[in-house]
Structure formats: structure tokens, C-alpha cells
Structure 1
Amino acid sequence: MNNCPKPIQRQAGIMLLEALIAILVFSLGILSLVALQAISIKLTGDAKHRTDATLLANRLIGQMWVSGGNLASLKTDFETGGGAYNAWLADVSGTEGLPGVVAASSGVTSTLPTVTVDDTAGATAGQVVITLFWRTPEMPPAEPGHRHIVVSQVVRNP
């Protein structure tokens, strides 16, 4: 005579099904953590590049303040193509600078930084606008990439 009640026989294998569902939920949780870690690493890299761009722009503004020149000499030396600009550009595009800083070429958008100095009289005299660009390796070459703009006023008291 069979002593097993019928309801227990109908539940045969339910423990295996519960174990498989628990493994599925656990696996999804682990995959979510791995994806979160990858996003965290990418955002950390982006924050580093933004910080580097800010420091490079502040370095150029500091050089402008200690140059001792008037607005016309600031425009000549520090605006895009000037002597001090070219020395600063070596820092921006060097190994310690921003990634993907290149001049325009066939199919590639320029990511060279731009510097403008307003030497006209008035409220905006001495206003300096520094725009830095960078492109991470996964970005397509035709895309301009990331941009950081710093606006400052470099004016000496008379």
C-alpha cells in the first residue's frame, strides 16, 4: 500500500523550479552590477577630461595675468596662432593633455582649442573666451566631441 498522499506527488520538481528562478534573479542582479561598474568607469573618465580642460584653461588665464602686457599684446600672444598659444597648445595636445586633440583634415573635424581676446574699448574689453574640445577614442572622427568653454575678464587697473 502506498503511504504517500497524492498532493505531495503533484509537487514533485517544484524545488528545482524555485532554484532555477532564484539563480535567474541572482544572475540578473550580477549583470546589473557589472553594467553599473562599466558606466561608472566611463563617467569617471569623462570627469577627468573635464577637470583637465578646466585646469588647462585656468593655466592659460594665469599666464595672461602675469604676462604684464596690454590688451593688444594679449591678443597677439595668446589668441589662436600666437606664440604663447602655441606653447600652451603643446600642453593641451600632449600626453598629459586632452585626448583626440587634432587639426582638421579629410573627414575629421578640428578639435584644436580656440582662444579669443576682446581688445575693443567698452564693457567687454579684456574678455577672454577659451574653448577646449576633446574626443574619446570611441567617438567617430567626424563628430566634434566634448566641449568646455571658459569666459574670463583680464583687465588691469589704470
Structure 2
Amino acid sequence: MQAGKPLRWITGKRREQLPACQRSNTVRLHQRGVSLLEVMIAVLVLSVGVLGAASLQLNAIRYSASADHATRATLIARDVLDRIRANPSALGSYAAASVTGACSPNLGGVNVAAQDMADFTQAVTCQLPSATASIVIAGGRVTVSISWSEARIMANAGDTTLVVSSVIR
């Protein structure tokens, strides 16, 4: 557009040369489809916002489930350590214990240590997904290790391991 020359509209006449009733129509002809474009942009912005909110919700659910598993594993480990502390005379009965497999009902035991191990086995296998656990006693130190799968929460996630150690006197 050259400076000083007025715009020519669709009719080829200057705006000032058109009757007043047609002046507003020429502006409307140039704005056809603008409101549709505005609506499409608004829908695009809204859809991006909704997708962002859905992503936040999905991540919140994932991290909540992961935190729940970690809390359960901590409670199970602390429970078995408290049971070992309460029964120090049978410390050897807890040594080298290993838990694997699917959830099975508590079969009980013939003594306190056997019952404690049956409860520990049931808690690990039934409350955590694909869990394994072990108890190692070296001197007076008891170490409880619990591992569980995070594959249901996040694709290609490895196992998570919790290790809790305590000195039994």
C-alpha cells in the first residue's frame, strides 16, 4: 500500500464515495470468517488446557499409588522389626528368612516366631504387587529388605526396594 492513497474496497470505489448504507457492509465483507477463526483458536486453547489438567491428574494418581506402596512396605518392615524386638530369644528363627510368591492365606505357626513369619509373608505377598522380602541378621543388627514392582504404575519401571535396619539388644 502506498502512502497517501486511500484503500479501495471490493466495489473499486473509495469508501467515501459509497453511500452510507454500503460503507458498513464493505467492512463486514473483509471480516467474514474472523469470528469462526476466533472460536477455533479458543477451542484449541481450551483443549490444550484440558489435556494439561488430565495429565496432572494422571500423574497425581501415579504418585499417590507409588506413595501408598512405599507406606505399606515401611509399615510391614517396622512391624516385623517390632515383633523381632519383642521376641529376642528366638532371634535365630527370623534369620535368613526369604519371602516370594503369590498371596497366600496365613497358615499360622507353632510358636510366636513362626506366627510372626507367617504374618510377615502374608503382608508382603498380599499388600504389595509382585513383592519379595528378606530378613538378614548379622550380629545384633537386623536388616529387612522389601522389593515390589512399580510396573502397573509406570511403564518400564523397575522394582522399588525399601531397606530398614535396626539393632536388637
Alignment CA distance shift 1:143-1:113 (3 Å):
farther
Structure 2 counterpart of 1:132, from 123, 146, 150: 146
Partner of 2:97, secondary structure, is coil
TM-score relative to the length of structure 2: 0.68
Aligned length: 132
Q: 1:78 corresponds to which letter in structure 2?
A: Y
Q: One-letter code of the match for 2:147?
A: F
Give the AA of the match of 1:138. Answer: R
* Alignment check: 8 A CA contact 1:79 1:85 kept: no
Residue of 29, 43, 46 corresponding to 2:63: 43
Change beyond 3 A, Cα 1:139–1:80: farther
More helix by percentage: 2
For the pair shown, the structure with the greater C-alpha radius of gyration is 2
Do structure 1's residue 25 and structure 2's residue 10 form an aligned pair?
no
Q: Does 1:118 align with 2:151?
A: no
Q: Which amino acid aligns with 2:123?
A: D
The one-letter code matched in structure 2 to 1:29 is G
Where do 5+ consecutive residues of structure 2 fail to align?
Answer: 1-18, 99-113
Quote the sequence identity (%).
Answer: 23
Give, in whole Å, the separation in 2 of the partners of 1:42 and 1:137: 11
Correspondence for 1:81:
97
Q: Once the 2 structures are TM-superposed, how far is the Cα of residue 9 of structure 1 from its aligned partner?
A: 2.0
Could you tell me how far apart the structure 1 residues matched to 2:157 and 2:137 are? 27
CA RMSD in angstroms, aligned pairs only = 2.5
d(CA) in 1 for partners of 2:39, 2:70: 47
Q: Which amino acid aligns with 1:38?
A: L
* Separation in structure 1 between the aligned mates of residue 32 and residue 161 of structure 2, nearest angstrom: 63
How far does the alpha carbon of each residue in 1:64-104 deviate from its partner, in whole angstroms, 9 at most, with x for none? 111031xxx41x2112338444542122112xx21112xxx
Which structure 1 segments of 5+ residues have no match? 102-111, 120-125
